[in-house]
């Protein structure tokens, strides 16, 4: 009864929990006045009123939107609905919440790790995901962006992704790791950053880290990341990071590279420069 009464309150335009208190008080007064009349109302008639109210609580437009936009949300809604029919409403709410939490943790444990490059056809040379946009990348520097939390649940997935990139891109020994969801770094995530930095140093490269806010930098300092990487490898913008990295790349590779991905490449040896210097 309280559920259908809440539905009537909502249809009437109720906006705050006070509506339940007022409706209960009004209902009590009305029952005192017309209680004898309810004795002659057929029970099927009352059941029909309750079913009508319940039917009006169903938002068919939102259900269609749910089914057409998200398979995950559709599964959660379907399981919750079936649980309501087979068990009870309270259990169904718990099942729906736990199922939603499980899907969320599953997605958080597999964050998106994309490789980016500047798009010369846009104002300001905006960085975009390289592969889908057909953008060329620097043969020595890999720019990776993490969209999602860097916490204990995603560490193993990211470690496997790093090893896959290492196998597929053996010449890109230097990495600029952009942590977009930097506020969600925990100790396990910080350890992953340090492990990757040490691994790339043994390869002859380096790991540079770009974070979005000074608050994240403070958290990394608490996890000893700042002291280990040093301030030279921690950046608050891609421009500062690339300006720091490009001059330290292998000049012999730059001298044979015709891509000129970054603006800073203009100050590096270009193809044919060594030959022209020898002839002059």
Convert the pLDDT of each residue in 29-58 to its tens digit.
877 887 777 778 788 888 887 788 778 778
> Within this chain, do residues 266 and 139 fall inside the same structural domain, yes or no?
yes
**What pLDDT, on the 0 to 100 scale, is given for residue 278?**
41
Instruction: Write down the pLDDT at residue 144.
Output: 95
Which CATH number covers residue 251?
3.30.750.24
Tell whether 122 and 6 lie within a shared domain. no
What's the confidence (pLDDT) of residue 163?
A: 96
Same domain as 143, residue 16? no
Which of 58, 81, 97 delimits the end of a domain? 58
Give the integer Cα–Cα distance in Å for 226 and 243: 19
Same domain, yes or no, for 134 and 269? yes
Report residue 182's pLDDT band, with 50, 70 and 90 as the boundaries: low
Can you give the pLDDT at residue 183? 56
User: Is there a single domain that holds both residue 227 and residue 135?
Assistant: yes
Question: What integer pLDDT is reported at residue 48 of this predicted model?
Answer: 86
pLDDT, position 216: 83
- Domain total of the chain: 3
Model confidence at 280, in pLDDT bands (50, 70, 90)? very low
- Minimum mean pLDDT among 80-94, 160-174, 181-195: which range? 181-195
Is the separation of the CB atoms in 158 and 127 below 8 Å? no
User: 58, 73, 91 — which closes off a domain?
Assistant: 58
Percentage of the chain lying above the pLDDT 90 cut = 51
pLDDT per position as a tens digit, 206-222: 999 998 888 888 888 89
Question: Who wins on pLDDT, 14 or 224?
Answer: 224
pLDDT at 2: 59
Domain identity same for 142 and 201: yes
Give yes or no: residues 103 and 120 share one domain: no
Shared-domain flag, residues 204 and 124: yes
Is the same domain home to 144 and 242? yes
Give the distance from CA 56 to its chain's centroid: 35
243 in the same domain as 175: yes
Check whether residue 36 and residue 73 sit in a common domain.
Answer: no
Q: Which domain holds residue 48?
A: 1-58
Per residue in 70-94, pLDDT (tens digit) is 899 999 999 999 999 999 989 999 9
Task: Note the pLDDT tens digit of each residue in 101-154.
Answer: 999 999 889 999 999 999 988 888 899 999 999 999 999 999 999 988 899 999
Measured CA to CA, the distance from residue 226 to residue 209 in angstroms comes to 10
The model's pTM is: 0.74
Does residue 266 share a domain with residue 144?
A: yes
What pLDDT sits at residue 41? 79
């Amino acid at each position: 009864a309280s559920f259908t009464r809440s539905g009537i309150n909502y249809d009437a335009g109720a906006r705050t929990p006070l509506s339940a208190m007022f409706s209960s008080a009004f209902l009590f007064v009305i029952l005192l006045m017309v209680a004898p009349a309810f004795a002659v109302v057929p029970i099927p008639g009352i059941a029909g009123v309750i079913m009508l109210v319940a039917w009006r609580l169903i938002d068919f437009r939102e259900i269609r939107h749910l089914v057409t936009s998200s398979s995950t949300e559709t599964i959660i809604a379907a399981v919750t609905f079936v649980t309501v029919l087979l068990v009870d409403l309270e259990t169904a709410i718990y099942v729906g919440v736990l199922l939603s939490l499980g899907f969320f943790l599953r997605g958080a444990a597999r964050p998106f790790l994309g490789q980016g490059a500047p798009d010369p056809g846009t104002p300001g040379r905006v960085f975009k995901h390289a592969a889908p946009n057909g953008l060329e990348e620097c043969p020595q520097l890999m720019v990776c962006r993490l969209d999602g939390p860097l916490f204990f649940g995603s560490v193993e997935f990211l470690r496997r992704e790093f090893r896959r990139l290492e196998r597929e891109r053996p010449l890109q020994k230097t990495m600029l790791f952009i942590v977009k969801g930097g506020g969600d770094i925990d100790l396990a995530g910080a350890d992953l950053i340090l492990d990757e930095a040490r691994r790339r140093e043994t390869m002859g490269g380096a790991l540079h880290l770009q974070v979005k806010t000074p608050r994240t930098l403070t958290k990394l300092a608490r996890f000893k990341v700042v002291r280990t990487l040093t301030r030279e490898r921690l950046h608050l913008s891609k421009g500062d990071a690339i300006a720091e990295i490009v001059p330290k790349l292998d000049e012999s590779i730059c001298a044979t590279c015709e891509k000129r991905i970054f603006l800073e490449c203009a100050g590096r040896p270009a193809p044919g420069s060594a030959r022209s210097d020898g002839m002059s």
